[in-house]
Amino acid sequence: MTLHSEKLSAFFAFFGLKDRQTPEISRRALLLAGLRNRLSHHWPEMRDMRDYPIEVTNALNDARIEPVNTSWAAQCSDVRLAEWAADIVRAFVDEWWRIGRDPGEFDRLQWVFGPDWVYPSEEPAPSKS
């Protein structure tokens, strides 16, 4: 299945969140989806190795990775691209929680599961005072 902007919009609309997401997070999520689509549908072929698909170029530029004189598939193994992808996923999940919950939800979750579950970290949970 190929993810594209219409599917992402339909996803948010299904949950009643259409037009509530931050445009920059959606833009970057679509860059990641475009890269994923290009990699998963990659068919090695005899072409100039400097001929980068636009989806790959867009992702590499957003990750601030300079395309070099190598195959684009090899360039996608750069660890900085993995960090870029992880940042996008983290921002997308944070955004989902920000726009998709009602304001008192964390208070209810803390009451049911405890502050360590709601605020998992090495730091102690914030106290209510």
User: How far is residue 97's CA from residue 115's CA, in Å, rounded to a whole number?
Assistant: 17
Q: Tell me the H-state helices in the chain.
A: 5-14, 23-40, 54-62, 72-75, 79-100, 105-113, 115-118
Cα separation, 55 vs 77, in Å, equals 15
pLDDT tens for the chain, 129 residues long, are 577 888 888 888 887 888 888 899 999 999 999 999 888 876 666 566 567 788 888 999 999 998 777 778 888 889 999 999 999 999 988 888 888 766 666 565 555 555 555 555 555 555 555
Q: How far apart are CA 81 and CA 76, in angstroms?
A: 7
Q: Which residue has the tokens 């919009």?
A: 9
Residue with tokens 């990699």: 39
